[in-house]
Structure 1
Amino acid sequence: MNPAIDIIYEAPLPEEYNELRVKAGLSAKDIAGASIALGNSIFCIILRQSNDLIGMGRIIGDGGCFYHIVDIAVDPSYQGKGLGKLLMAEITQFLDENAFKDSYVSLIADSPADQLYKKFGFEYTYPKSVGMYKKY
């Protein structure tokens, strides 16, 4: 029998944040930058099993008009068990309770995760707008 999964509302440590990002197929981030970023989050949720970080998600933004969902990641050995849906449900609940009327909530969706986000009311911006980025 597997130990219970703990839902915790705090940021992970920068090192384990990077470790989970890489496991989940995302890029690693500079540790100093990650430390600052995690501390500036509007909302963080992490999932732990036996103290191991197995899932996470964050909201960043200005806390008033704009919110951006980032770092939705689940350890591959735990994928397919509804944990991404759990993370998004918790994030959605936070936004439902805290976002102001007419706030803009955005995210960048990799396929096939876009199908999960659609279940939470997210729509494609294309063709009216497209996502853009600049990486340093």
Structure 2
Amino acid sequence: MAHEPELRLEIPGIEEYRALRVAAGLSAMTAEAAAVGLPASWCSVCVRHGGALVGMGRIVGDGGLFLFVVDIAVAPAWQGRGWGRRIMAALTGQLRARAPARCMVGLIADGTAYRLYEKFGFRRVAPAAHGMLLRL
């Protein structure tokens, strides 16, 4: 029987990060942007199976006032097995352990992903507020 994937606090490599984003249906990122952004992660979680990256999630931000959950991605072959929930549990654990009181933590939920995030205390803000995005 194959061993279970391992979840650990770790920043993914540039190319594996880019490949998993696309495989999981997220937008493509440039290598240049990933080289700048990944090391600046406030927290990063990787799920590996046999050394291969099969899941990830990150938190970015200033570490005090505002943090943002990004890059929640699971390879298609591993979806539906609870890895998104485990990634969010690890990230939420880090938030509760390290983020200061009253820190605002946000995210953008695609499709029905809000159902997962609600399980971790996130609440939709519309109609009082609306998430917005500027893609450069």
SS of corresponding position for 2:92: helix
Residue in 2 that maps onto 1:99: 99
Using the size of structure 2 for normalisation, the TM-score is: 0.97
Q: Report matched runs for 1:51-62 at 5 Å.
A: 51-62=51-62
Residue in 1 that maps onto 2:123: 123
What is the alpha-carbon distance in structure 2 between the residues aligned to residue 49 and residue 64 of structure 1? 33
CA RMSD of aligned residues (A): 0.7
Residue in 1 that maps onto 2:2: 2
Using the size of structure 1 for normalisation, the TM-score is: 0.97
Q: How far off its partner does 1:119 sit?
A: 0.5
Residue in 1 that maps onto 2:111: 111
Determine whether 1:90 maps to 2:90.
yes
Q: How far off its partner does 1:2 sit?
A: 2.0
What is the alpha-carbon distance in structure 2 between the residues aligned to residue 79 and residue 112 of structure 1? 14
What is the alpha-carbon distance in structure 1 between the residues aligned to residue 123 and residue 9 of structure 2? 27
Residue in 1 that maps onto 2:81: 81
Residue in 2 that maps onto 1:24: 24
Residue in 2 that maps onto 1:37: 37
**AA in 2 matched with 1:133:** L
What is the alpha-carbon distance in structure 1 between the residues aligned to residue 10 and residue 36 of structure 2? 14
Q: How far off its partner does 1:6 sit?
A: 1.4
Q: Structure 1 vs Structure 2: percent identity of aligned residues? A: 43
Question: Residues 2 and 112 of structure 1: is their aligned pair in 2 closer, same or farther, counting only changes over 3 Å?
Answer: farther
Q: After TM superposition, what 4+ stretches of structure 1 lie above 3 angstroms from structure 2?
A: none
Q: How far off its partner does 1:115 sit?
A: 0.5
What is the alpha-carbon distance in structure 2 between the residues aligned to residue 42 and residue 19 of structure 1? 21
Q: How far off its partner does 1:32 sit?
A: 1.0
